[in-house]
Chains A and B, each alone.
Chain A
Amino acid sequence: MAFTSLTYFVFLALTVGAVRVTRGVAREWVLLGASFVFYGFWDLRFVPVLLTLGAGTYLAGRRLAANRKDRAWLVFPVAAILAVLGIFKYSGMVVSLANWLLPDALRITLPSIILPLGISFYTFECVSYLLDVHQGSPGLTPFRRFLLFPAFFPHLIAGPILRVKEFGPQLDKLEAPSDAESVAGIDRILIGLLKKVLLANTLGTFVDQGFSAAKNSALDNWSLAFAFGLQIYFDFSAYTDIAIGSSRLVGLKLPENFNLPYHARNPSDFWNRWHITLSRWIRDYLFFPLNLKAGRRIWLRYVYLVEVMTLVGLWHGAGLGFILWGAWHGVLMVGHRVLESRIKRVPKAVARVAGLVGPAITFILVNAAWILFRAPTIGQSSSMLASMFSLKGLRPAFSVNDYMILAFAMGFYFVLEPWLKRIGERTGSAVAAERLVFWARPAFYGASLMLLFMFDRSNVAFIYFQF
């Protein structure tokens, strides 16, 4: 049940209706039931995976809550959860690597494994739950409440990745949203749908065609890098908008996942703005502990940083392109830290210029990295990057329309997106105060529906679903 399908909106309307007529425990059951209907709609075989992981994490969490010093209830369950993720997501890659190393007689054949949607997200939530409980956070009980934490349908497939401390307290005072809060949710959903249908899908056509071409000029490859950078942003942030909006309609708040990432001042700042909930997961559970371990050995911190970012790449997919993409970001962040430590000693004027140039360089390098992420083979990505950085061929070969789409998307991102972001983040009380806008809203809704109907391609999946 894709977020852009009519089925989803009928499902959402029914769920919202059920939430409004129930209260207390019944309301939690409604949300849990709806979440499993939502997940089962994709493929019924996914459901047992989520249930089993949920049950295992819940039991381990209870034991851990009872005795936080017993690390066995942390280490083994976390290892088991990661093993499940590994089996579903990385066994193919490991077997191909093994087969490449082994003689033909010892070749391993792997039965085909279906990757359950959202597994990368809910396994990380289960791990974070155990780590947080180990560190003193109260666990979620009873089981239905806990299960709602990873399974809650708006964030189940592609995040945001929740922490128990931000979700648990909301369940304690779960109430139907006010009308103004619901309106804010609908606004957010519509903004997300328009971004997905009008921008991400349109850019996608251009990007798909560009990446399938055998040979592009440097200018065209740069255009493709920026186009894909915008496509994946609009696609993923649209998903998040719809997730946050849907969640508001049932009275729960999800954390923000994006904060104008291409406005980042430097590579580290980019990760404070891009996929924020994954970044903080990585920061809190991997990077900080490793940093502590490295102590004053700065070089070791840098090594860990590159390693951690490489893992972030691997989390996105079992492919060398993703790994290199993560490593690229690690190297960029290390480079920035080294430069930053040096720049403290240069005159203020130079530092000021660096502050101005920094965002532009970050924008360029972050977008160049998308080539590794998107190109189907390493051979293609390396030849595209070589042409981009050698500036080989500056003649545009794509159609005028393609460049216009890119220019429009770029303009939309830099001009309209900051404004839409503010609209999307309003509180219910802010919406209630906007009386004029409230009365004019049907015109916006009607026009949006018209555009959505016109550009609807329900078969276009969100890019982040594959992770």
Chain B
Amino acid sequence: MLWLVVGTAAVVSALGRFDGFEAIQSLLTHGGETAATQPAKLAPGCWDETAGNDLLTAVSKDRPFRRGAGVLVLGNSQQYTVSVALGQKLDSSRDVHVAIDLLAARLAADGRAYGFYDGAAPNQTMPEALWQALYWYEVAHVSPKFLVVQASFDTFRKQGIRPGYQTLLEDAAFGVALDRFEAEHEHDAFVSAWSEAKSDALARRRELAESGRFSVEGALRKAMSNVRLFRNRESYKATFLNDIYQLRVKVLHVSPTTRRHVTGAAFEENWSALVALVHLARSHGSRVLIYNAPVNPAVSMFYESEYDAYLQNLAALARTDADGFVDLAHAVAAKDWGFWIDGPDPIHFNEQGHLAMADQLYAAFGPALLSTSR
């Protein structure tokens, strides 16, 4: 028995000092050379990681424009990321210019200097975008003149309201607005994601309240944090999961660009949230402009029939309920896309791509954005 206790303690101590998962990762990526994450840069002032963890703090410091003015932009990381192909270099000495900045600059040059608020977030689902928009419209009472919505088919396969968004629930007014909105949309598919997020947030709040009180478990955990292996468990887990992800790409060849179905519950939730988002904005007097996100021509991520049906529905929604629509699926040339893990980046592109996207956005939405009527 003594051997077991001493031996196990020695192994635990050794494991706490040697991060085997880092070593595996290095092995899988040949020291990080062949399976790099893309060289990328984010637009200044965009969604940062801390905002992802705590949206309430992020939105509390921003009142980007006065009521009835400005443009609120909702979408995913494509909207604020510049990414280049492997081997290309990013100029780190200057800020990057993304499509939304370029569009804003052109409008300013035309005499319409709008305040733009980029409410884009990594992998932001439509139920999350709606969640955020509800805050702007019904709690912060910042109704923009325009709402620009990026519809990216890729995000229609993702579900849930992440903890960063759930922090908005700490604002009681948001909770009230959410309940009211939910009651009005009780038959919409996105409501299930919202309900789950509310109960998650409640559970987390309870846990937090309990952690404030003395508990044997809490004291033991505190004591255990003196053990390196226990203290570093979060970072080990992150590296381990990353290893699993890399293994998935290497061994099973399931990569970020592997073709996948975008149907079922996830799609329904996102679609119903998009429709509700458009109606919410319209009911507050905003004009709604929708664009279909650029798609990398070098990858074939979606099933054509599903993508075509989605695109047709999107155009139909825009025709009946929005004030402008443009399909930017082919806006960015293959050479302008970034690189990720094992091949072309399916979401992000370089500044040239942003320039091309801005051209098409300006051409499609310019007349509406420049017009003085509401």
Q: Which residues of A are at the interface with B, using a C-beta cutoff of 8 A?
A: 5-7, 10, 179, 182-183, 186, 208-210, 212-217, 220, 393, 395-400, 404, 439, 441-443, 445-447, 449-450, 453-456, 458-459
Judged by a CB distance under 8 angstroms, whether B363 is at the interface is no
Judged by a CB distance under 8 angstroms, whether B240 is at the interface is yes
Determine if A214 and B268 form an interchain contact, defined as CB atoms under 8 angstroms apart.
Answer: yes
Q: Which residues of A contact B196 (CB under 8 A)?
A: 208-209, 212
Query: A5, A395, A439, A454: which contacts B236 (Cβ < 8 A)?
Result: A454
Say whether, besides A397-B266, A453-B233, A446 and B12 are in contact (CB < 8 Å). yes
Query: A220, A398, A446: which contacts B8 (Cβ < 8 A)?
Result: A446
Residue of A nearest to B236 (CB): A454
Judged by a CB distance under 8 angstroms, whether B30 is at the interface is no
Cα distance, A361 to B236, chains bound together (Å): 41
Q: Which residues of B contact A454 (CB under 8 A)?
A: 233, 236-237, 240
Among B40-48, B257-265, B278-286, B344-352, the stretch that binds chain A is B257-265
- Nearest first, the 6 closest Cβ-Cβ pairs linking A and B are A397-B264, A446-B11, A442-B7, A213-B265, A6-B220, A445-B8
Judged by a CB distance under 8 angstroms, whether B159 is at the interface is yes
Tell me, rounded to whole Å, the shortest Cβ–Cβ distance linking B146 to chain A.
31
Judged by a CB distance under 8 angstroms, whether B176 is at the interface is no
Q: Which residues of B contact A447 (CB under 8 A)?
A: 11, 15
Tell me, rounded to whole Å, the shortest Cβ–Cβ distance linking A417 to chain B.
21
Cα distance, A186 to B4, chains bound together (Å): 11
| 11 contacting pairs across A/B (C-beta < 8 A) | A6-B224, A10-B220, A186-B4, A212-B192, A215-B268, A441-B4, A449-B8, A450-B229, A454-B233, A458-B217, A459-B203
Judged by a CB distance under 8 angstroms, whether B189 is at the interface is yes
Cα distance, A396 to B159, chains bound together (Å): 14
Cα distance, A209 to B196, chains bound together (Å): 9
Tell me, rounded to whole Å, the shortest Cβ–Cβ distance linking A221 to chain B.
10
Judged by a CB distance under 8 angstroms, whether B10 is at the interface is yes
Cα distance, A183 to B267, chains bound together (Å): 50
Determine if A450 and B236 form an interchain contact, defined as CB atoms under 8 angstroms apart.
Answer: yes
Judged by a CB distance under 8 angstroms, whether B172 is at the interface is no
Determine if B263 and A397 form an interchain contact, defined as CB atoms under 8 angstroms apart.
Answer: yes
Q: Which residues of A contact B10 (CB under 8 A)?
A: 442, 446
Residue of B nearest to A220 (CB): B264
Q: What does the 1/0 interface line of B219-235 toward A look like (CB < 8 Å)? A: 01100100001100100
Judged by a CB distance under 8 angstroms, whether B160 is at the interface is yes
Determine if A183 and B221 form an interchain contact, defined as CB atoms under 8 angstroms apart.
Answer: no
Judged by a CB distance under 8 angstroms, whether B214 is at the interface is no
Q: Which residues of B contact A449 (CB under 8 A)?
A: 8, 12, 229
Q: Which residues of A contact B230 (CB under 8 A)?
A: 453
Cα distance, A453 to B216, chains bound together (Å): 18
Say whether, besides A209-B159, A215-B268, A442 and B261 are in contact (CB < 8 Å). no
Judged by a CB distance under 8 angstroms, whether B118 is at the interface is no
Most buried by A among B4, B15, B160, B193: B4
Query: A214, A399, A400, A443: which contacts B192 (Cβ < 8 A)?
Result: A214
Judged by a CB distance under 8 angstroms, whether B1 is at the interface is yes
Taking CB atoms and an 8 Å cut-off, the chain B residues in 121-160 that contact chain A are 157-160
**How many contacting A-B pairs (Cβ < 8 A)?**
117
* Given contact pairs A6-B217, A442-B8, A445-B4, a sample of 19 additional A-B residue pairs in the complex whose CB atoms are under 8 Å apart: A10-B220, A182-B1, A208-B196, A213-B192, A213-B264, A213-B265, A213-B266, A397-B262, A397-B263, A397-B265, A400-B260, A442-B10, A445-B11, A446-B7, A446-B8, A447-B15, A453-B230, A454-B240, A455-B237
Q: Which residues of B contact A5 (CB under 8 A)?
A: 217
Residue of A nearest to B207 (CB): A459
Most buried by A among B233, B254, B269: B233
Determine if A453 and B217 form an interchain contact, defined as CB atoms under 8 angstroms apart.
Answer: no
Say whether, besides A446-B8, A453-B230, A214 and B221 are in contact (CB < 8 Å). no
Q: Which residues of B contact A458 (CB under 8 A)?
A: 217
Determine if A443 and B11 form an interchain contact, defined as CB atoms under 8 angstroms apart.
Answer: yes
Q: Which residues of A contact B11 (CB under 8 A)?
A: 442-443, 445-447
Q: Which residues of B contact A7 (CB under 8 A)?
A: 216-217, 220
Cα distance, A458 to B10, chains bound together (Å): 25
Cα distance, A385 to B184, chains bound together (Å): 29
Judged by a CB distance under 8 angstroms, whether B248 is at the interface is yes
Residue of A nearest to B16 (CB): A450
Cα distance, A220 to B157, chains bound together (Å): 14
Tell me, rounded to whole Å, the shortest Cβ–Cβ distance linking A64 to chain B.
41
Q: What does the 1/0 interface line of B328-358 toward A look like (CB < 8 Å)? A: 0000000000000000000000000000000
Residue of B nearest to A404 (CB): B248
Cα distance, A441 to B2, chains bound together (Å): 12
Say whether, besides A215-B265, A395-B263, A442-B3, A450 and B159 are in contact (CB < 8 Å). no
Cα distance, A446 to B11, chains bound together (Å): 5
Q: What does the 1/0 interface line of B145-181 toward A look like (CB < 8 Å)? A: 0000000000001111000000000000000000000
Q: Which residues of A contact B158 (CB under 8 A)?
A: 399
Query: B15, B258, B261: which contacts A446 (Cβ < 8 A)?
Result: B15
Residue of B nearest to A10 (CB): B220
Query: A186, A215, A400, A445: which contacts B264 (Cβ < 8 A)?
Result: A215
Query: A183, A396, A459: which contacts B4 (Cβ < 8 A)?
Result: A183
Taking CB atoms and an 8 Å cut-off, the chain B residues in 86-102 that contact chain A are none
Query: B15, B157, B216, B229: which contacts A397 (Cβ < 8 A)?
Result: B157
Determine if B7 and A216 form an interchain contact, defined as CB atoms under 8 angstroms apart.
Answer: no
Determine if A179 and B1 form an interchain contact, defined as CB atoms under 8 angstroms apart.
Answer: yes
Residue of A nearest to B260 (CB): A400
Cα distance, A362 to B266, chains bound together (Å): 31
Residue of A nearest to B230 (CB): A453
Q: Which residues of B contact A183 (CB under 8 A)?
A: 1, 4
Q: Which residues of A contact B240 (CB under 8 A)?
A: 454
Residue of A nearest to B204 (CB): A459
Q: Which residues of B contact A439 (CB under 8 A)?
A: 3
Tell me, rounded to whole Å, the shortest Cβ–Cβ distance linking B174 to chain A.
21
Q: Which residues of A contact B264 (CB under 8 A)?
A: 213, 215-217, 220, 393, 395-398
Tell me, rounded to whole Å, the shortest Cβ–Cβ distance linking A13 to chain B.
11
Cα distance, A446 to B160, chains bound together (Å): 35
Tell me, rounded to whole Å, the shortest Cβ–Cβ distance linking B9 to chain A.
8
Cα distance, A209 to B125, chains bound together (Å): 15
Tell me, rounded to whole Å, the shortest Cβ–Cβ distance linking A252 to chain B.
19
Tell me, rounded to whole Å, the shortest Cβ–Cβ distance linking A123 to chain B.
29
Q: Which residues of A contact B1 (CB under 8 A)?
A: 179, 182-183
Q: Which residues of A contact B14 (CB under 8 A)?
A: 446
Query: A182, A397, A456: which contacts B267 (Cβ < 8 A)?
Result: A397
Tell me, rounded to whole Å, the shortest Cβ–Cβ distance linking B321 to chain A.
22
Cα distance, A7 to B219, chains bound together (Å): 9
Q: Which residues of B contact A215 (CB under 8 A)?
A: 189, 264-265, 268
Tell me, rounded to whole Å, the shortest Cβ–Cβ distance linking A47 to chain B.
18
Cα distance, A212 to B203, chains bound together (Å): 17
Cα distance, A72 to B31, chains bound together (Å): 78
Q: Which residues of A contact B252 (CB under 8 A)?
A: 404
Q: Which residues of A contact B12 (CB under 8 A)?
A: 446, 449-450
Residue of A nearest to B217 (CB): A7
Cα distance, A256 to B240, chains bound together (Å): 34
Query: B15, B157, B189, B207: which contacts A450 (Cβ < 8 A)?
Result: B15
Tell me, rounded to whole Å, the shortest Cβ–Cβ distance linking B95 to chain A.
34
Query: A209, A395, A404: which contacts B160 (Cβ < 8 A)?
Result: A209
Tell me, rounded to whole Å, the shortest Cβ–Cβ distance linking A79 to chain B.
39
Cα distance, A266 to B103, chains bound together (Å): 67
Q: Which residues of A contact B159 (CB under 8 A)?
A: 209, 213
